[in-house]
Structure 1
Amino acid sequence: MVSRNKLYTYKGGPRSIGILAVAHAVGFDIEVIETNPQDGLSEEYLKLNRLGKTPTFVSSEGTVLTECMAIALHVASQDPDSRMLGSGHMDFINIISWMSLCNSDVVKRMGAWILPLLGVAPYAPQGVEMAKQQTAQAIQIFEDHLRDKRFLVADRLTLADLFCVGLVSFGFAKVFDKAWRARFPYFTAWYEMITALEMYRAVVPDPVMVETALGPPDPSMRNSYTADD
């Protein structure tokens, strides 16, 4: 039996969407192994990823990658004729820059806003409001850049677009409501364009855009949300 490339993740995991979308785009075969940290992790999985995070990639040859950016870059590089990694050195550097910005500053701020509303983290109104403002500050960087551009890098679709849209899909599904989206029209239009692509819909057939943002959590609720980290 021929071994396949495997991606250990859970359905809709924001850090996995872009990886799977670009895999679809470049024709790279990946078998998804449903892995939800909330359900518990096997000793076998913890040998692959000692921090117990998702996603984790294992190649058909046995190579293990545990960082989402590294996985995404590896998958995108599988088709030498693809433009997913840009057409030159500076395109490549800019792709990594946008991915890093989104995977660190945007996700960190967005998580500090959303996770308390889901009951995953302690809820403090002032802290949530601060995180909301800090998220807007980070998203404004995208908004200003996209004011006169269709894509993040070199005016063509690259890994940066798919990876970053996957990450911020969590925000659009939970708190980036109609009123919020009106403040960031270029960012929102870019998101809608990328999520409408066939390669993205192959992974997420029905992207969610919330009409009304989450409010304060019910103290009695027990949350079932799982974060990538």
Structure 2
Amino acid sequence: MAPIGKLNGPTVNFRNYKARVVAEFLGLDIEITPKFELGVDNKTPEYLAKYPSGKTPTFESADGFSLTDSSAIAYYVASKSGSDSSLLGQTPEETAEILQFILFAESDFMPAALGVFAPILGFTPLIKPALQQAEQQLARFLGVLNDLVVDRTFLVGERLTIADV
């Protein structure tokens, strides 16, 4: 099977994993850029001409459609599965709930998690009050997720969706 497109960005990166996990789950092939160097390749004139924000990951479909943002890319990849759209929800309500969890992950959970782990791993300076605040937020968000999955297997319904990725 020919790749459905090319995913640009560092191979080892949690944001790139979303689209790759979705593609693998659905049996879709995505070309990756194993030698992509963050801060170098995404700053070239060619890259910036196509993706002016310089963000990664980015995606270009086999027919030339371009996209940025890991969640948007994962959603697009899931939509390429043809009739198997179960990862995207089967009703408008499920789809909205999936989107709710994607936005929760992007706007609440990940900033708190990065606020905890980035200074611990040495990616950012450790500022104790900021770390303590991030730890409190992360604990609260983990509690919310824990309470949700007490009586269900997945975040939305009883099957895997991109909300779980």
TM-score, reference length from structure 2: 0.88
- What secondary structure, in the 3-state scheme, does the structure 1 residue paired with 2:63 have? coil
Equivalent pairs counted in the alignment come to 161
Q: Using the alignment, how far apart are the partners of 1:45 and 1:60 within structure 2? A: 17
Contact 2:8–2:58 (Cα < 8 Å) also in 1: yes
Q: Kindly provide the amino acid, as one letter, of the partner of residue 141 in structure 1.
A: V
Q: CA deviation at 1:119?
A: 2.6
Q: Using the alignment, how far apart are the partners of 1:152 and 1:132 within structure 2? A: 23
- What secondary structure, in the 3-state scheme, does the structure 2 residue paired with 1:50 have? coil
Q: Where does residue 29 of structure 2 map in the other structure?
A: 29
Q: CA deviation at 1:3?
A: 8.2
Runs (5+) with no aligned partner, structure 1: 163-229
Q: Where does residue 84 of structure 1 map in the other structure?
A: 87
Q: CA deviation at 1:76?
A: 0.3
**Aligned runs of 1:121-160 on 2, under 5 Å?**
121-160=124-163
Q: CA deviation at 1:81?
A: 2.5
Q: CA deviation at 1:112?
A: 1.4
Q: CA deviation at 1:154?
A: 1.1
- What secondary structure, in the 3-state scheme, does the structure 1 residue paired with 2:7 have? strand
Structure with bigger RCO (C-alpha 8 Å, 6+ apart): 1
Q: Using the alignment, how far apart are the partners of 2:15 and 2:73 within structure 1? A: 10
Q: Where does residue 114 of structure 1 map in the other structure?
A: 117
State the Cα RMSD in Å.
1.8
**Aligned runs of 1:161-200 on 2, under 5 Å?**
161-162=164-165
Q: Using the alignment, how far apart are the partners of 1:78 and 1:119 within structure 2? A: 38
TM-score, reference length from structure 1: 0.65
Q: Where does residue 59 of structure 2 map in the other structure?
A: 57
- What secondary structure, in the 3-state scheme, does the structure 2 residue paired with 1:37 have? coil
Q: CA deviation at 1:142?
A: 0.8
Q: Percent identity?
A: 32
Q: Using the alignment, how far apart are the partners of 2:3 and 2:160 within structure 1? A: 31
Runs (5+) with no aligned partner, structure 2: none
Q: Where does residue 6 of structure 1 map in the other structure?
A: 6
Q: CA deviation at 1:63?
A: 1.0
Contact 2:18–2:71 (Cα < 8 Å) also in 1: no
Q: Using the alignment, how far apart are the partners of 2:27 and 2:134 within structure 1? A: 38
Q: Using the alignment, how far apart are the partners of 1:124 and 1:109 within structure 2? A: 14
Contact 2:112–2:137 (Cα < 8 Å) also in 1: yes
Q: Using the alignment, how far apart are the partners of 2:3 and 2:137 within structure 1? A: 44
Q: Using the alignment, how far apart are the partners of 1:84 and 1:120 within structure 2? A: 33
Q: Using the alignment, how far apart are the partners of 2:37 and 2:145 within structure 1? A: 31
- What secondary structure, in the 3-state scheme, does the structure 2 residue paired with 1:10 have? coil
Q: Write out per-residue CA displacement over residues 16-36 of structure 1, whole angstroms, 9 at most, x where no aligned residue.
A: 212111111223221001323
Q: Write out per-residue CA displacement over residues 24-65 of structure 1, whole angstroms, 9 at most, x where no aligned residue.
A: 122322100132314453221222222222110001111110
